[in-house]
Chains A and B, each alone.
Chain A
Amino acid sequence: MSYLYIPAKWDVEFLHSAGEFTTRFLQNLKEKKIYGVRCPRCNRVLLPPRRVCDRCFVETTDWVEVSDVGTLQSFCVVYRKFWGLPDPPYAIGVFKLDGSDEALVHFIGGVDLTDPTKLEEVVKIGRKFRAVWAEERRGHILDIKYFEPMN
């Protein structure tokens, strides 16, 4: 038999608050500054900054400015279009910024992604990358345009 169908769509708007910690982190991006927070127990600088150290379960204390230069720990390159997500090809990296003990996820830019067989020649885990800042900044994670490899 041929079945009957009903189309459905979730179209519900939300307004998420960034709260105290994430607002402060994002506001600092406007000034081209990246801050983490220190855990008073394990002494690690956590990134992104948050109220509680998830390893120690104690509240974080000092805000610590970290570098906009970091080491690439891991990456991937999106080659297929996924509905509702950014257009391919684009690369996402996990960057351990100097002065931080955790890594930040962000776009990788300034590299040629057209030939997947040459990826590991142009994007190297363990190499240094630098933040490229957006001209206009609004207190958003994309105030950093992307991270590009340093020579």
Chain B
Amino acid sequence: MNRTAIIGVGISRCGHRRDDVTHPELVYEAVREALDMAGLWIDEVDCIVYGTMDPFDGILAPEKWDGEAMGVGRLKPMIKVTTGGTTGMSIALTAYTLASSGLFDVVMAVSGQRVSENVEAQKVLNLAVDPFHDRPFGIGAIAAAAFQASSYMHRLGDSRRVEEAMAMVSSKNRTVALRNPKAHLKRPLTVEEALRSPLLIWPIKYSDSCPSSDGSAAVIFASERAAKRISDRRAWVLAADTISDSYYWGSKDLSVWDSLAILARRVYKRAGITDPRRQIDTAELYDAFSIQEILEYEAVGFAEKYKGTELLFEGLTDFHGDLPVNASGGVLSTNPIGATGLIKTAEAALQVMGAAGEHQVPDAQTSIAHAWGGALQFHTLIVLSSEIGVKRP
């Protein structure tokens, strides 16, 4: 594997119903921004990796229609990858792998999704479960997160503490989203308001749940040689990997995310991270539901098992804390599902490039981005840095 860097990122303005654009026009917004940041003409991109979750938009294989927006008409190699909620990061990892392999010098990952054109996203999510054993019960993503939350509450033996910690995650991420011009939901939320929010699927409240957004993202990966030639603004990929686990709900302990913990250990070893809490400056964790950010703190080594809520009560992961998590406002503020993992990657890159604007974490050298997908079964994780190594623990 050759050293590889992110040299350009683009994120569209995200929101409920981007009626001012068609599907390809939405994708083009992100592609244009990423190319402009890197200072590239489309023909300098050697390959495109595209991903989305087709049924959410009601358009089968939108890479055909979206082709115009990403240079497919310029007779380029184009690959599609889709893995549920991890789609956006799976395409980032594919693009990274292709650029670092030496096969291509410059590879662009692209995703666009407009979930808000869909009247009921949970119905689509229910189509993604086993039709014989799971579908009749109406299971979708919210029910899955609710299983995690009730299991976690039971393990802790203190439901009220978990409920409060969940409200703190939502309040933190929704409020910091005001700093991000691209974010969808931009309404500040207090912990008290979050606690009073109506129930969706107990114990998940409206405030614990991500919105359905329209949005797109593009991230350009370049080999070391190309990256140094093209741009002096770089986010080096120190390590990136993915992991998969069993589909069945009843085969996993839903109060912990063991598969993510295993992935984090693998990735950290390669990146030289031995003390994640000190060596990572900021993290974009996949907070589709507030409970998940808490489980993720534990899995990525920011907290010990079943101690994740402590970080919130200490304020460690606040925007002004020592280890800001989801400085972009996170998935709780913006969720164009298939594109979300790529937005996570883009945001983590912007942080170490020093280009995150109002939500820039001061002196961020090393960041991580994460996404989960499938039946709580896929994880992707990437470590990015402004330098070619991490700081000493």
Is B250 within 8 A of A73, CB to CB?
yes
- The interface centre, meaning the residue of B20, B138, B148, B204 with most chain A CB atoms within 10 A of its CB, is B138
Q: Is the CB of A94 within 8 A of B55?
A: no
Q: Is the CB of A142 within 8 A of B136?
A: yes
Nearest chain A CB to B169's CB is how many angstroms away? 18
A25 to chain B, nearest CB (A): 8
CA distance A83 to B148 in the complex (A): 23
User: Taking the complex as formed, is B126 at the interface, i.e. its CB lies under 8 A from any CB of chain A?
Assistant: yes
Complex interface: chain B residues within 8 A of A55 (CB): 246, 251
Extra contacts besides A22-B132, A105-B134, A116-B199 (8): CB < 8 Å: A55-B246, A74-B148, A75-B150, A76-B201, A76-B204, A78-B138, A86-B136, A105-B133
B254 to A83, Cβ gap below 8 A? no
The reply to whether B137 and A86 form a contact with Cβ atoms under 8 Å apart is yes
What is the 8 Å Cβ interface bit string for chain B, positions 110-130, against chain A (1 contact, 0 not)? 000000000110110010001
Contact B58 A8 (CB under 8 A): yes
Closest residue to B152 on the A side, CB-wise? Answer: A74
Residue of A nearest to B126 (CB): A85
A10 nearest CB neighbor, chain B only: B58
Give CA–CA (A79, B203) in the complex, Å: 10
A 27-67 to B, binary, CB cutoff 8 A, 1 in contact else 0: 00000000000000000001110000011000000000000
Q: A50: nearest residue on chain B (CB-CB)?
A: B248
- Closest 7 pairs between A and B when the two form their complex, measured CB to CB: A103-B250, A76-B146, A85-B138, A83-B120, A77-B202, A84-B123, A125-B154
Pick the residue among B119, B122, B203 that contacts A76 (CB under 8 A).
B203
Given the complex of chains A and B, what is the CA–CA distance between A80 and B200 in angstroms? 5
Number of interface residues of B (CB under 8 A): 42
Chain A proximity mask over B200-216: 1 for CB below 8 Å, otherwise 0? 11111000000000000
- Residues of chain A within 8 A of B131, CB atoms compared: 16
Q: Does B65 contact A (CB under 8 A)?
A: no
Q: Give complex CA distance A10, B126 in Å.
A: 15
B306 contacts A by Cβ under 8 Å: no
| B104 interface contact, C-beta 8 A | no
Name the residue in A5, A75, A90, A106 with the highest tally of chain B Cβ atoms < 10 Å from its Cβ: A75
CB-defined contacts of B199 to chain A, threshold 8 Å:
77, 79-80, 116
Interface of B is mostly: mixed
Contact at B132–A26, with CB atoms within 8 Å? yes
Chain B residue at smallest Cβ distance from A14:
B131
Q: How many residues of A contact B (CB 8 A)?
A: 46
Q: Nearest Cβ in chain B — how far from A122, in angstroms?
A: 12
B140 beta carbon closer than 8 Å to chain A: yes
Any B CB within 8 A of the CB of A132: no
The total number of A-B Cβ pairs within 8 Å is: 122
Closest to B148 in A: A74
A104 touches B132 (CB 8 A): no
Q: What CA separation (Å) do A56 and B55 show in the bound complex?
A: 32
Contact with A along B59-75 (1 / 0, CB 8 A): 00000000000000000
Q: Smallest CB-CB separation from A16: which chain B residue?
A: B131
A120 contacts B20, C-beta separation under 8 Å: no
B residues 234-284 near A (Cβ < 8 Å) are: 246-251, 254
Query: Is there an interface contact between B133 and A48, defined as CB atoms closer than 8 Å?
Result: yes
Contact of A102 with B143 at beta-carbon distance under 8 Å, contacts A77-B201, A85-B122, A141-B133 already known: no
User: B204 to A104, Cβ gap below 8 A?
Assistant: no
Q: Nearest Cβ in chain B — how far from A46, in angstroms?
A: 8
Q: Which residues of B contact A78 (CB under 8 A)?
A: 138, 143, 201
Contact among A10, A18, A48, A142 for B55, CB-based, below 8 A: A10
Interchain Cβ contacts under 8 Å between A and B, 23 examples:
A22-B133, A48-B130, A54-B246, A74-B151, A74-B154, A76-B147, A78-B143, A78-B201, A79-B201, A79-B202, A80-B200, A83-B120, A83-B123, A84-B123, A92-B143, A94-B249, A96-B250, A102-B248, A104-B133, A105-B250, A116-B199, A126-B154, A141-B132
Q: Is A150 an interface residue (CB 8 A)?
A: no
Task: Tell me the bound Cα distance from A18 to B133 in angstroms.
Answer: 10
B121–chain A nearest beta-carbon distance, Å? 9
How many angstroms from the CA of A72 to the CA of B370 in the assembled complex? 31
Residues A120 and B246 in contact, CB atoms below 8 Å apart: no
Contacts of B126 in A (CB 8 A): 84-85
Mark A113-151 against chain B: 1 for CB-CB distance below 8 A, else 0: 000100110000110000000000000111000000000
Determine how close the nearest CB of chain B comes to the CB of A3; give it in whole angstroms: 5
Closest to A1 in B: B20
- Are A125's CB and B20's CB within 8 A? no
A104 with B150, Cβ < 8 A, contacts A85-B122, A86-B138 known: no
**In the complex, A107 Cα to B133 Cα: how many Å?**
12
